[in-house]
Structure 1
Amino acid sequence: MATFKAIRIDKAEKGTTAALTQFDEAELMDGDVTVAVEWSTVNYKDGLAVTGKSPVVRRFPMIAGIDFAGTVLDSSHPSWKAGDKVVCNGWGMGETHLGAYAEKARVKGDWLVRLPDGISARQAMAVGTAGYTAMLSVLALEKHGLSPKDGPIVVTGAAGGVGSVAIALLSKLGYQVIASTGRTSEEAYLRELGATEIIDRNELSAPGKPLGKERWAGGIDSVGSTTLANLLAMTKYRGAIAACGLAGGMDLPASVAPFILRGVCLYGIDSVMCPLPDRQQAWSRLATDLDPAKLEQMTQEIGLDQVIDTGAKVLAGQVRGRIVVKIA
């Protein structure tokens, strides 16, 4: 039976181990579509998996990687045939189902989205789960009824993957964007993406008042905890915040004041089990609303052998923008 390169995670006496190795095709899990993986990316959750910093992996052995773009090799699913270009993210890949850091993946056809016209496989993974999550967040704010005339949108974790794509999207859609970052040295980068104002994350990371001065119509938050509480407290009347991450913690030390006194809404953004129609809408919008030049500007490329080290850098906040991983 054939083998292929993959980053394999195994249970160890203390925690887990991760290594680039050869994986036996016979060990692939059940699925009705087999894909030749061409590109992947490094997300925050991937960093947790390959470093073992958090128990996100729930099956061993595991192939890490929560998203990929590639070409269908064979399929028994009615929607897919050999040669189709596809994108896949979430659905437990890299956690409960063998994931994307491999030359082959076998998944359920219902998990796949057709690669949109005008987006290459590399660009799709430059977007990746982070960018797709940013798009879902923008869609939530639009569904709430927000538009550029309502006021600025704040984006936290601005220099990270979700933040970078969110700024580029919002800017192209005509919004004034306030970027919150702990890396003020990245101000030029953030302004090039479209941010009109930069604030230090320390302004939002300390405990604040139940209600603060109204500063923004909405926000996209990948930090959580006290930062999210402060975003809510400073959101304008009938505004909304889309929460899509927890880099700062899972807690939410907030009060009900913004909700019952200003009618603020908090939207939870789930990218993992998101229904297929919402996924298709997000990828369709990414194909039209994300400036390819800005996407390339925020993207750097690595090989499969660099993923483990890069995952540690992502957790340490040392990576700007997006990372694409060339698999083949």
Structure 2
Amino acid sequence: MIRAASHLKVRFIQQSHFFIEKPCRKKSNSLPTSFSILVLIPIIIFVALYSLTERYNGFSGRFGADYLRITSTLDKYESPYRESCLNDNEDGKNNDCIIGDTDALKKALLIGDSHSNHFWNFIDLLAKDAHVSVMVQGTSTCLVLPGISQFDWGRYKNSVYKDCHDNVARYYDKIQKEKFDYVIIGEVWNHCTSDNIINKLGDARSEALPRQRIEVAMRKAMGIIIKSGAKPVIIKTIYIAPKEYVPCFYQNVKLRAHNKDASCERGVWNGDGSDWFNQLFKQLKTEYPSLIIIDPKRVQCSGKNCVTEIDGIPIYRDYWHLTDHASFIFGLC
């Protein structure tokens, strides 16, 4: 056995010497030819392969039928306009950013951070059923309350999040000048109580002050909306994905071990009765009876269990956000 393997090795060396090394040693190419063979052609091949990979979604079929079913379902429900209506629809004139019953006489404005935006299909279905046209605007990681600034927020170090501040002023100016029947605010609310919340540069910062500032700003927002003749609507936060759930889910699917890895912990929801924002919303409802509160967890959760998948399709596209598929299914419920 060893002798046979050794013989094959010798034969391979002899043949590679005859068919590759000797011809290459005798061949003398010009610089342009060598450049084409060694640099240009490999670049062309790489670009072509990269383009094919992009076009065919990384050849996702290599991970099996289940993975292909998941990605094709998510692609089917993904809106081609949703992302462009976040940050880029500042003047509200993009007709692609109108959802619901677009011909309806009743009008609504949807504002907030990216969590307002991930409810695109959810709001679209509710608005169609209620015959309301909804203009979608929003700013990433922005608490859309009047008079609020955010300091040291994300990539904005040692400065106010100016885009957020300016866009919020624009939203409330629009609310006062245009006739809306509803103004809908969606946020990842429980992420908004850090000491980054200020009214202006130089304000004191502590754990308690943001809540005081948010309460004042929320009541100011309610006052502006109601005075304009619109009904305020607050969308509460979804049940956020358990830590590491999304990468763990996809790893299991790719390894054909879906739902078999106990490390993909689903988590347990104990309700939001003691949540500070939940208490604030209840108080606001008492003070402003026209306020409508929509809680997606009434669809997502039952008892202590919250849905993280629908027919084997994950409802999350990352730790914080719903997929467009899940947003659509929740809208049907």
TM-score (norm: length of structure 1): 0.28
Relative contact order: is structure 1 or structure 2 higher (C-alpha 8 Å, sep ≥ 6)?
A: 1
- More strand by proportion, 1 or 2? 1
TM-score (norm: length of structure 2): 0.28
Larger Rg: 2
- More helix by proportion, 1 or 2? 2
